[in-house]
């Protein structure tokens, strides 16, 4: 049975929810998975990558940056990832992707992977979600920036107190299904 490692970095939970959906689709295809939030696990405890048939890494984007934990993992395990490039999938979750997926990939994925010196067999960019409801983890200056950005959208009068979800779940499931096909090759 094929085994897939899913790693992600999330700030507010949006990327975790995407990784959970990807994992569900892969499991529904009969493959075993292991999933880790890189912020919650000691990276030394993640097994050698050659123990997996495939690897997917996802990260949220904030101010143009990957999460620190994803960046650190990819840099530290670069040699292992190079050996797995044919079965490596990578995605970002960001506001830019809701408008233009290709621009998000060209901005936040390709140049960063190239700089590190690795390639991915499958790449995608998914829209994000902005939870501005009471008790949301989004606060401070980040919250103010998100609210100002959402107010520029003519369809949104008052963004405060609402969940603004721009993720395309069909696109996310399609990414997972494409990854399964990559592993079958």
CATH of the domain at 86: 3.40.50.360
Q: For residue 106, is pLDDT > 80?
A: yes
Q: For residue 151, is pLDDT > 80?
A: no
Closest CA to 150 of 140, 165, 137, 135: 165
Q: Does 173 lie in the same domain as 87?
A: yes
Range of the domain at 147: 131-165
pLDDT digits (tens, 9 = 90+) for 69-88: 999 999 999 999 999 999 99
Order the strands of the 54-60 sheet from edge to edge: 32-37, 3-9, 54-60, 88-93, 122-126
Q: Does 158 lie in the same domain as 145?
A: yes
Q: Does 61 lie in the same domain as 124?
A: yes
Q: Does 75 lie in the same domain as 36?
A: yes
Q: Does 69 lie in the same domain as 160?
A: no
According to the 3-state scheme, what is the secondary structure of the chain? CCEEEEEEECCCCHHHHHHHHHHHHHHHCCCEEEEEECCCCCHHHCCCHHHCCEEEEEEECECCECCHHHHHHHHHCHHHHHHCHHHEEEEEECCHHHHCHHHHHHHHCHHHHHHHCCCCCEEEEECCEEECCCCCCCCHHHHHHHHHHHHCCCCCCCCCCCEEECCCHHHHHHHHHHHHHHHHC
pLDDT digits (tens, 9 = 90+) for 31-71: 999 999 999 999 989 999 999 999 999 999 988 899 999 99
Q: Domains in the chain: how many in total?
A: 2
Cα–Cα–Cα angle for 133, 108, 122, rounded to 5 degrees:
105
Closest CA to 38 of 70, 80, 4: 70
């Amino acid at each position: 049975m094929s085994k897939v490692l899913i790693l992600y970095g999330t700030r507010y939970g949006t990327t975790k929810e995407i990784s959970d959906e990807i994992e569900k689709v892969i499991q529904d295809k009969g493959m075993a998975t292991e999933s880790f939030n890189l912020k919650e696990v000691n990276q030394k405890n993640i097994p050698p990558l050659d123990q997996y048939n495939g690897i997917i890494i996802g990260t949220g984007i904030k101010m143009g940056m990957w999460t620190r934990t994803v960046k650190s993992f990819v840099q530290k395990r670069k040699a292992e990832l190079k050996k797995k490039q044919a079965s490596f999938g990578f995605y970002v979750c960001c506001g830019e992707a809701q408008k233009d997926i290709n621009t998000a990939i060209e901005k936040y994925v390709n140049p960063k992977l190239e700089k590190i010196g690795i390639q991915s067999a499958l790449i995608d960019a998914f829209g994000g979600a902005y939870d501005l409801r009471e008790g949301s983890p989004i606060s401070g200056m980040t919250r103010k920036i998100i609210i100002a950005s959402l107010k520029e959208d003519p369809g949104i009068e008052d963004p405060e107190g609402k969940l603004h979800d721009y993720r395309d779940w069909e696109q996310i499931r399609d990414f997972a299904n494409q990854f399964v096909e990559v592993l079958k090759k």
